[in-house]
Structure 1
Amino acid sequence: MTPNTENPPIILIAGHWLGAWAWDEVLEHLNTSQLHALAITLPGLESEDPQRTAATLDDQAAAIQDVMTQAGASRDRPAVIVAHSGANAPVSLVLDRNPDLTQKVVWVDSGPVAPGSSFAPDLPESVTELPLPPFDALAEQASLEGLSAEVLERFRARAVPEPAPVLRESVALSNEARGRIPTTLVCCSLPGAQVLELARTGHPMFAEVTTLEDLDVVDLPTGHWPMWSRPRDLAEVIARAASQTRGADRTA
């Protein structure tokens, strides 16, 4: 991987069951913008990895940071992190541990997690992985709007079960500097105004949004997977976020 010194590295991280492949269409549009963007597959989501069900949030956070380093991210040239859905837990860890390595974080139908939270704390210890549910069950939790039958077929064929440790573990966060990282919320399933209202009323899924000091809210109406339903528009949002300056220095 050869670092590009002209633009900040952009690291794309998809949510549960997904790997780097989920961003293929978005990358096609970003690559035409002369940006240095790359997508990664988190530990536990490589289908051929025999140890994948043992992957932890620490493993995933370490992998993100390794990729950032390889892409040339530094305090002088911080990265743009794009996190979709369930990637919010390991990304929140990265932001907490090394906030000065990130110029901006773009949450795609997602947002920062609260300290001590976990995705599925009551998941039985006997469960080693969580497969992609049937789509009728999934649609009760996340909008499938904009996804064609062909896209859903690809989703089903390529999805990798999520490692159970990643879902059960609580996220240990302690560095308030993560709230000072410039942030873009890309709101798809819910309009931005509703997300902000839920945050203000203390909804556990959105409450951490109130800690963000430099926040831009972008409405991109579609379902929970805009990288497939509106890839060009999502790429444009990411490119705009990456073009914005780092802003005032932050103290970790």
Structure 2
Amino acid sequence: MVDFVLVPGAWLGAWAWDEVAEVLRAEGHEVYAVTLSGLAERHGSDSAQVGQQQHVDDIVSVVEGNDLRDVVLAGHSYSGIPVGQAAARIGDRLRRVVYVDSNIPTDGKSFIDGWSAEGRAWVEGQLAESGGFWPPLAADDYVDQDLSDEAIAAIVSRSTPHPGRAISEPAHLVRPIGELPTTYIKCLMDGAEPSRDVAAQLKSPNWELVEQPTGHWPMFSQPAALAKIFTGLA
């Protein structure tokens, strides 16, 4: 049995992993789902000032504070960036990093640095208009992602604005992510091929690619299948 530390993507809290965690715990694993600072039950009026490095610290604190060993550390979407940094910091406590259809960290670059000029201008405009927050998606943005109406309604109703600093601060890697044992899960309904930076890392013998035939939020669309992938790494 291993310790799973599960980190949700933008706008979401630990609750996003409830169904996956239930399956893993039923199989005897320990599961620690993380709510990052400034989100969900940790959201407040000053949350816009929460930076990406605080999110890295949040993850490291869960691992070290609970004295976890043999850790499978998984990050979805945005959280792949702080997860990749935290994975290097926890040293020999790490069993494997799992990126769930996520961004991955590049030293010195932020979440939005990899976006097109048009996309970056769009998100920076949103931050300016919302007082430093990145507003959650609307229901229409979740269409054609293998999600039920009930799942979409739950996501939309429970999402909270994401701290703007967290997506604009650069990553700081203490070790190249290509050196870490890693599984990248590509959700095929969100694009058939990994991004260019992920494809480059997949050339490392330490990395493997797993494909899942669902949308970008597999913890809601196919939680049992995602849990099965996780347990295959345990």
Structure with greater helix percent: 2
Deviations 1:10-57 (A, max 9, x none): 100010011000011111111111011121100111345433221111
Paired residue type of 2:184: L
* CA distance 1:59–1:226, shift in 2 (3 Å): same
* 1:128 aligns with one of 124, 128, 132: 132
| Deviating more after overlay: 118-127 vs 105-114 | 118-127
| CA deviation vs aligned residue, 1:112-159 (integer Å, no higher than 9, x gap) | 2222221235526744101112243x35xxx74211111111111000
Aligned residue for 1:58? 53
Going from structure 1 to structure 2, the CA distance change for 1:48 and 1:234 (only over 3 Å counts) comes to: closer
SS in 2 for 1:241: coil
Please list every run of 5 or more consecutive structure 2 residues that lacks an aligned counterpart in the other structure. 114-119
Change (3 A) 1:88 1:28: same
CA contact (8 A) 1:118 1:170 kept: yes
Name which of structure 1's ranges 9-18 and 120-129 shifts more when overlaid on structure 2: 120-129
- The CA RMSD over aligned residues, in Å, is 2.3
Query: C-alpha separation between the residues in 2 aligned to 1:144 and 1:99?
Result: 39
In the alignment, structure 1 residue 69 sits paired with structure 2 residue 64? yes
Moved more, 32-41 or 180-189: 180-189
The residue type equivalent to 2:65 in the other structure is: Q
- The normalised TM-score by structure 1 is 0.79
Q: Which runs of 5+ in 1 are unaligned?
A: 1-6, 243-252
Change beyond 3 A, Cα 1:85–1:175: same
Relative to the length of structure 2, the TM-score reads 0.84
For 1:85, give the aligned amino acid: S
Distance 1:146 1:232 in 2: 14
Seq. identity, %: 31
The question of whether the paired residues in 2 share the 8 Å contact of 1:11 and 1:40 is answered with: yes
CA contact (8 A) 1:80 1:105 kept: yes
Native 8 Å contact 1:107 1:184 kept in 2? yes
Instruction: Give 2:116's aligned residue.
Output: none
Determine helix, strand or coil for the equivalent of 2:111.
coil
Cα pair distance change 1:189/1:207, threshold 3 Å = same
What pairs with 1:224-235 in structure 2 (closer than 5 Å)?
224-235=216-227
SS at structure 2 position matched to 1:216: strand
Q: Identify the residue that residue 39 of structure 2 maps to in structure 1.
A: 45
